[in-house]
Structure 1
Amino acid sequence: MQRLTMMTKGRSLAASLRRAAANPLPGSGLSRCQRSFHATTWAQTDGVFTGLTDTRLRIPWIEALRIQQGHKDAQASEKPKERDLTPKKMSDSYHRVVLPLGQDPWLSDTYINSSGHIRLGTLFMDLDALSGIIVYKHTGPGVTTVTAALDRITIAHPLTEICDLEYSGQVTYASGRSSVEITCKVAKARAEGEPSKPEDVLLTCTFTMVALDPETRKPVNLPKLEYTTPEEEKIFKAGEENSLLKKEAFKASLLQSEPNDPESALIHNIWLRQLEYHDPNNSLRQPKNVVAMAKTQLSTAAIMQPQYRNRHQTMIFGGFHLKQTFELAFCCAASFAHARPTFISADPCTFRNPVPVGSVLYLTATVAYTDPPLLEEDGTEPKQKDPDRPMTRVHVRVDSKVRDVEHGVAKSTGQFNYTFSVPKNLKVLPHTYEEYMIYIDARRRVMESDRQRKTESVSRLGQVRNDTQDVNLMG
């Protein structure tokens, strides 16, 4: 009887919805063609602009689950398939999409935060989806591609108005091995045919994508990238240099070697300062603006649901993973500073293992470094440039791991690094050896980010000079 009542109520609800759609309320401004009720959602990834996901999911989750269960015991073939490795041009992978944020106010629900600013985490999701489209233009069908790393995201010119945004990108380096470099940018959308100007660029980012055999899950070779113009050659050489720098950075990482002499001296000086804080015979006490690293941590745990899966059906979309880590890092910086953080950059972030649908994702954010730091290498205390208007860069590290719902063995799924600025004078203080290593690693990342920012500034200055010369010649 209860079941019959529920079915009757369900039919009544459906009938009411049909009547509401056919007869809109007077003065509502809604016509039959403007708002319609659909029992079936579009095949797309939640939170990603539809222009980037129209063909992303080809079958619903329930069918993907049946296929997965049916092939669970199937043996994968070890014989690699033959693929077309004909070299590709940069233009072959170029892709451009316009996000009509200025034209469609309803998009603000997804892309604008409570204070009226752009939601960067949502943009990061879109950019990862864009890189997925770009890499498939380069690889062609028959391979599985995954995001291996986010090499860098930098804010070029902060957005000062809500307007249409243009997403664009292309493969900028591919040696013929299993990985490719993809460079994307977000800029103010110009009229069709009108090129964007340097000041229109909101942010730029670089992804590393890796191709795998869909059956064996082993890396496969991809087409090499050809350059046809001096500008493309310059871009390709920069990608080649970045690839070499990443290999050198791995060899010099703290997982491969101990801290160098200046870093060891810094660790020792911070340790001595801690002893002074607790020495009853010393009047020096830990200032209120110095916070223990362990007290800065924030953690989350969430079940990974099917609507966030990638095009390969059984794994979570890398952009969603990126968005979750960024928003937790933002909350961590805000909790540490008791002020609203301003995003500066995302430094190299690695995706170590995939996140399966249905697994539990654990994220832990830690304030790993502050600049100005507690102490310099020589033991002196750095000063704020303007004591009346203090500003501190806060580097947040987010560690990610995954378990199945039965809470079996945990796997590391990546490390994500974000830098913010806050209008406060704050310091983070490591205590344990592990925290010191986290501190030194974050310090290296901030210093490398400064080096790259200076290089980019010089490059932009040269571009402005060239543009000025072009204008003078045209005049």
Structure 2
Amino acid sequence: MASTARATIRPSTVLIRCNCTPNARLRRPRREFHSSPSQRTDGVFRELTSMRVRTPWIEALRKQQAESADPHKPSGMPKMPPGRDLTPKRMRDSYHSVTIPLARDPWLLDSYLNSSGHIRLGTIFMDLDALSGVIAYKHTGDAVTTVTASCDRIIINHPLKEICDLQLSGNVTYATGRSSLEITMQVAKAPKHDEPIKNEDILINCAFTMVSLDPATRKPVPVNPLTVETPEERRLYELGERNSQVRKDLVKTALIKHTPNDEESDLIHAYWQKQLRYHDPHDELRRPDHVHYMDTTVLKTATIMQPQNRNRHHFMIFGGFLLKQTFELAFTCCSAFAHARPTFVSLDPSTFQNPVPVGSILYLTATVVYTDPPLIGAPGENSDAEIPYTRIQVRVDSKVRDVEHGHSKPTGQFNYTFVVEKNIRVMPRTYQEYMMYLDARRRAEQVGESMKKDGAGLSPKAAEESVTE
């Protein structure tokens, strides 16, 4: 009887079984299978994920169960250590940068691209929110709980014309010593050999507002104020001061509290008159094909929140995940409305109202709320209705329910602006839609003035040339 040879199988080698003699089996060529290295990431760049999630979910869950405490409710007992050091800090103390090697790592790039080969901006937004958390804790320390309160702006400044390594960087630029702080960040082509970043290589500028809370009571606590040392730091600090004042002014004049002003009331009346003409059988005017009612633009989703997308405090969802989800729904809503591929222009002032617990159900509703040029301009307002591009503002409202659907609360409002090479208009026709339209119109005017003052923003033609969405 022929002896059976013993084959050593390496981890990457598979021996194929066959109905043949042992000697023939040994002569059969081996087939080797290779797999890419495991990517321990939830969509956020690995380095930022490791900084955010430091304890496995099962350990955090077992600890919470052992303590028999509800992680979604404040304990009421202050946890802040007495005598915290609130010495003023410098801007550069919180500086942090991360380079994402998209050009050097094709498997990493694979998780950043969409079906058309463009970089998914929603994934970049996740990275930016994760980076803002790292920067915030470098300023406040780990004793507090720091959460994202709002995103004041994310603006595309220059088109990215090729796939390249990206450098994300930023620092705290505004903090008065109260509970909030503003973090300014940028995304740019990664410089070579420690060269300075050129202005034309900056893809994104953005600002996030963070709030520090007591980990137990969830009440705001003071943070270290900033000291300003250079003219550039003074400019950034004053910009943060201006953003803070704009937010306060918007709250004071919000349509939820006050009636529309005279100009806005005239605009509502003009839209109402236009609707009457569209439906009057004795009037020849009919709604044009490029005009769509606001209620026909709505898209909705419902998603259960899983622990893989938690923040560093384990039982709440990471804000960057919400940015990604809302951006991609807004992009889809805009595409369905325009029947064209939209190009992202900016994330306009948006707010995180309440935290989203792990295990809850998140409901998102996207609506096209404003188009520029508008269908009807305010009296004395000049707009070129014949330009080939239309700016489209999409509002995404989020709310959360527990699994039993016993409780519901709003968790945020996110406002995205896109541009399409198409003549298309949205038209409100209920009072609620009029309020959404006017709110979006105010935001578009405020953002437009701010971008003009700061020299920021991108032309529609230049935006189309970018390899980003």
Normalised by the length of structure 1, the TM-score is: 0.87
**What's the offset of the Cα at 1:23?**
6.6
What does residue 403 of structure 1 align with?
A: 401
In the alignment, is residue 418 of structure 1 matched against residue 416 of structure 2? yes
In the alignment, is residue 254 of structure 1 matched against residue 255 of structure 2? yes
Q: Which runs of 5+ in 1 are unaligned?
A: 1-17, 461-475
With 429-438 and 46-55 compared, the bigger mean Cα shift is at 46-55
* Change over 3 Å in CA distance of 1:26–1:91 after alignment to 2: farther
In the alignment, is residue 427 of structure 1 matched against residue 425 of structure 2? yes
Q: Which runs of 5+ in 2 are unaligned?
A: 1-8, 16-28, 459-469
> After superposition, where does 1:260-275 map in structure 2 within 5 Å?
260-275=261-276
Q: Partners in 1 of 2:80 and 2:191 — Cα distance?
A: 45
Q: Partners in 2 of 1:185 and 1:119 — Cα distance?
A: 16
Q: Partners in 1 of 2:382 and 2:184 — Cα distance?
A: 39
What does residue 51 of structure 1 align with?
A: 47
> After superposition, where does 1:18-29 map in structure 2 within 5 Å?
19-21=10-12
Contact 2:398–2:412 (CA under 8 A) maintained in structure 1: yes
Q: Partners in 2 of 1:459 and 1:111 — Cα distance?
A: 23
Classify the secondary structure of the residue corresponding to 1:64: helix
Contact 1:384–1:391 (CA under 8 A) maintained in structure 2: no
**What's the offset of the Cα at 1:81?**
2.9
> After superposition, where does 1:35-434 map in structure 2 within 5 Å?
42=40, 44=41, 46-73=42-69, 75-78=75-78, 80-82=80-82, 83-378=84-379, 383-386=384-387, 390-434=388-432
Q: Partners in 1 of 2:77 and 2:384 — Cα distance?
A: 62
With 403-412 and 249-258 compared, the bigger mean Cα shift is at 249-258
Q: Partners in 2 of 1:275 and 1:242 — Cα distance?
A: 41
**What's the offset of the Cα at 1:88?**
0.7
Q: Partners in 1 of 2:54 and 2:239 — Cα distance?
A: 36
With 92-101 and 230-239 compared, the bigger mean Cα shift is at 230-239
Percent sequence identity is 59
Count of residues in correspondence between the two structures = 432
Cα deviation digits, residues 381-422 of structure 1 (max 9, x gap): 954344xxx211110000000001111121100000000011
Q: Partners in 1 of 2:33 and 2:44 — Cα distance?
A: 28
Contact 1:21–1:35 (CA under 8 A) maintained in structure 2: no
**What's the offset of the Cα at 1:113?**
1.2
Classify the secondary structure of the residue corresponding to 1:378: coil
Classify the secondary structure of the residue corresponding to 2:336: helix
The letter for the 1-side match of 2:129 is D
Cα deviation digits, residues 132-176 of structure 1 (max 9, x gap): 000000001211110000100000011110000000000000000
RMSD of aligned Cα (Å) = 2.2
**What's the offset of the Cα at 1:59?**
1.7
Q: Partners in 2 of 1:86 and 1:163 — Cα distance?
A: 40
Classify the secondary structure of the residue corresponding to 1:365: strand
Q: Partners in 1 of 2:398 and 2:259 — Cα distance?
A: 24
* Change over 3 Å in CA distance of 1:27–1:194 after alignment to 2: farther
Q: Partners in 1 of 2:309 and 2:456 — Cα distance?
A: 40
Normalised by the length of structure 2, the TM-score is: 0.88
**What's the offset of the Cα at 1:71?**
3.2
